Amino acid sequence: MLIAALILVWRYPRAAASVTLTALMLLIFAGNGWVAATAIRSLERQYLPTELPQAEAIVVLGGATRSPEPPRPWVEVSEAGDRVLYAAKLYREGKAPIVVLSGGRIRWRGGEGSEAADMAELMEPMGVPRSAILEEPDSFNTYENARNVKAMLDREGIKQVLLVTSAFHMPRSMAIFRKQGIEAIAAPTDFLVADDFFEASRSTGAGAILSVIPDAENLMMTTKALKEYIGAIIYRARGWL
């Protein structure tokens, strides 16, 4: 919209001003803490943590690591790194004897190898032996995660799995995995909004003001939620849901 305003400003200054004002209002709205939290919460609360049963495997979706490219000393975790930590915890609790790590690497983002290999390297020091890990290194989106994991599970004779991914990503992931005929049980992690967020943000004047002022982190959460809803529409149109 700002690009459109720049194009319009020379011949249509009033239209350019209107477009600029609209862009500003969208930025203020999307960067609002309460708007961002509400948008993410609408996804995260669809699958809440429960007492998980034992399954035949734990499936972890990629998007949780950064490759060990210099100056990084080792594989590093991203915001979604809770996926790896939680999956290792579930394995150590005896929830399943096998961990399936799914994720390739988009080359233009940098790095070598696959996210599956990165996650495997992180899991070993957390008590998950290589003998218990299966890597699926060729998927680049959630649909490919499910399709490639399905083929791997069929070869191994595995029917029921615990699916580990970020809470906001879980609704679309569960729908895709079930569409592939995988008996998946949601094991969400990486919750971005705690139950007491709204109460805490309203408890003081400063908290309320900071929630209203546009913030990059709030904008990121709104963007994540929007991506999930748009992704669900596109995936359904393609028959993946």
- pTM reported for the whole predicted model: 0.90
Whether the predicted pLDDT of 108 surpasses 80: no
Tell me if 195 sits within 8 A of 135, measured CB to CB: no
Whether the predicted pLDDT of 146 surpasses 80: yes
Say what the pLDDT of residue 209 is: 76
Token duo for residue 48? 């809440």
Token duo for residue 166? 């970020």
Nearest C-alpha neighbor of 59 from the set 95, 29, 23, 21? 95
Of the two residues 128 and 206, the one the predictor is more confident about is 128
Neighbouring residues of 231: CB distance < 8 A, sequence distance ≥ 6: 142, 172
pLDDT digits (tens, 9 = 90+) for 109-130: 666 789 999 999 999 999 999 9
- Torsion-angle region of 59 (φ positive above 0: left; ψ -120 to 50: alpha; else: beta): beta
- Bridge partners of residue 65, in order along the sequence: 77
Whether the predicted pLDDT of 206 surpasses 80: no
Note the CATH number of domain 57-189.
3.40.50.620
Tokens 């990084």 correspond to 72
Tokens 């999930």 correspond to 228
d(C-alpha 203, C-alpha 210), whole Å: 12
Longest distance between any two alpha carbons in the chain, whole Å: 68
d(C-alpha 102, C-alpha 34), whole Å: 33
Percent of the chain residues past pLDDT 70, beyond the cut? 97
pLDDT digits (tens, 9 = 90+) for 21-52: 999 999 999 999 999 999 999 999 999 999 99
User: Domain ranges in the chain?
Assistant: 2-45+194-237, 57-189
